[in-house]
Chain A
Amino acid sequence: MLAWITGLIVLLVKLVVVLVALLLTAAYLVWAERKLLARLQVRLGPNRAGKFGLLQPIADMIKLLTKEDLVPESADRVIFLLAPAVVSVTALLMFAVVPFGTDITLFGRRVPLIISDINVALLLVFAFSSLGVYGVALGGWASNSKFALIGGIRGAAQMISYELPLGLSLVPVVMLARSFSLVDIVNAQNSYPFILVQPLAFAIFVISAMAESKRIPFDLPEAENELGAGFHTEYSGMRFGLFFLGEYVHMQVLGALVAVFFLGGWRGPWLPGPLWLFVKIIAVALVMIWIRGTLPRLRYDQLMAICWKVLVPAALINIILTGFVMLI
């Protein structure tokens, strides 16, 4: 009984630490994105709230919290209110299976630095990623607005399509690690990160991951110059904030997944595990911001063509090649 209670306390502490870290990083990722994007466009970016605009996320949060929470009269009220939560909750839950360090010993107990190590973690990630589509599609539908509906439909089509190459690109990784558990996948990269042997899978995964997180150049669901704000056009206040938060948490989760599957997870010389994972997440996020500052939005047919005509066949060929190499 005592062991059970201490286990629960340890779990709760881990949850709190991970949640706070995720939300704080999400807030400052917004700041970093605005700042870096501004510099890429020869602007200054936020610089009024605090030094270098460092208090900007706090100001934004206060603004979002104090804004009126509008629900359009013709919206489907229950679904409209629930949709933003689906987006951010699925994004947050995905992080539950990401390992961020070796086991540590606290008060004579071994504490694994992961919230829950389950043997089908990779499938869980995909399940949550697919559930995230509901948030976008239902949010767009429940708003009962044309822009939001088009955004939601685009989002659903895009995210469902890109699930496929996302999953297929990881099959070689699973083949190499011989496990679905993210802990085992990280452990399998003890000697070398998988990016060295699976560069094609890495490229496919990063591209599909960006499409999954609806970032430029794959931001068709929210394409602001044609759809207002896409699926979250009708949202205001903290409900819009939840969509926003979900996007940035998703960005971190994808950074973490890229790190876990291809960059060796928390493994690395000199620094402790969690710090290495953080560095890798931030590096992936910064590259995503750089991509946002460089590439224009894809046309809808181009988006679908890249997915079905390039990424899926390439991923399939990659699986066959990997299997072939592993056999001989």
Chain B
Amino acid sequence: MSSDRTKKTKPADHPGTLIAESIKALGSGFATTAKHLLRRPVTEQYPEQKRVLPERSRARIVLTRDPDGRERCVACYLCSAVCPVSCISMQSTGGEGGRRVAAWFRINFSRCIYCGLCEEACPTSAIQLTPDFENCRQDILEMVFEKDDLLVDHGGRDDRYCFYRHAGIATDTAGKGEHVNEQPPVDAKSNLP
């Protein structure tokens, strides 16, 4: 910055040196582009060469499953609430064995901006973004994915995590007090003075 200022206050150069300097500058510019002509192009030819995307890159959304193969989604609506483009919709319902599940779960991928906020909001690690970005469709209605299209048969990133092992709710897998790090419920009547 300071060198710039001193340059400006310096008296004007001799026109001859100015011309020589500008020709030198032009020449170095042309030499630079000429050198680039000999470099290998950096282009990746997409359909033939597919770059391995980072594991955490965000594209198609999936619904993952518990280690025991059951749906993780508890239909809490948090993802649908946080979605900035309102592309997620669902209907919560009481499922089997005291679990809540989504009666239907729908993501409109023609609206989705792949921001990943749904994944952050999800309390059960159910909704996750995968690096699979090749999701073009000819018909825009095919971009609406239903629950069956979204469900995958693995646990995605947290594949050992199971919400109902920690939840503290009595379900068909564990009653009250049987979860991880949980003590049996205190019998209030035994506490009487």
> What is the bound-complex CA distance between A75 and B30, given in angstroms?
42
Q: B34 touching A41 by the CB < 8 A rule?
A: no
Q: What is the CB-to-nearest-CB distance from A283 to chain B, in angstroms, rounded to a whole number?
A: 15
Give the Cβ gap from A63 to chain B, nearest Cβ, in Å: 20
> Given known contacts A42-B41, A43-B43, A44-B43, is B29 in contact with A295 (CB within 8 Å)?
yes
Chain B nearest CB, measured from A211 CB (Å): 16
Cβ-based interface call for B33 (8 A)? yes
User: Quick check: B29 and A42 within 8 Å, CB to CB?
Assistant: no
**Contact of A160 with B by CB under 8 A:** no
Residues of B near any A CB (own CB < 8 A): 29-30, 32-34, 36-37, 39-43, 45
Chain B residues, CB < 8 A from A178: none
- From A38, A290, A293, A295, B41 is in contact (CB under 8 Å) with A38
A294 and B29 contacting across the interface, CB-CB below 8 Å: yes
Question: With the chains together, A295 CA to B43 CA distance in Å?
Answer: 23
Q: Do B41 and A40 have beta carbons less than 8 Å apart?
A: no
A146 interface contact, C-beta 8 A: no
Residue A39 CB within 8 A of the other chain: yes
What 5 A-B pairs are tightest by C-beta distance, nearest first? A44-B43, A294-B33, A44-B41, A40-B33, A293-B33
The residue of chain A having its C-beta at the shortest distance from the C-beta of B32 within the complex is A294
Where the two chains meet, the residues of A that have a C-beta atom closer than 8 Å to any C-beta of B are: 36, 38-44, 47, 290-291, 293-295
**Least Cβ distance of B3 to chain A in Å?**
23
Residues of B close to A47: CB separation below 8 A: 45
Inter-chain contacts of B42 with A (CB < 8 A): 42-43
Q: How far is the CB of B183 from chain A (nearest CB, A)?
A: 65
Whole-angstrom distance from the CB of A289 to the nearest CB of chain B?
10
Tell me, rounded to whole Å, the shortest Cβ–Cβ distance linking A89 to chain B. 34
Contact at B30–A39, with CB atoms within 8 Å? Answer: no
Closest to B39 in A: A42
| Interchain nearest-CB distance for A104 vs B (Å) | 38
Q: Which residues of B contact A42 (CB under 8 A)?
A: 36, 39-43
> Roughly how many angstroms separate A294 CA and B40 CA in the complex, as a whole number?
18
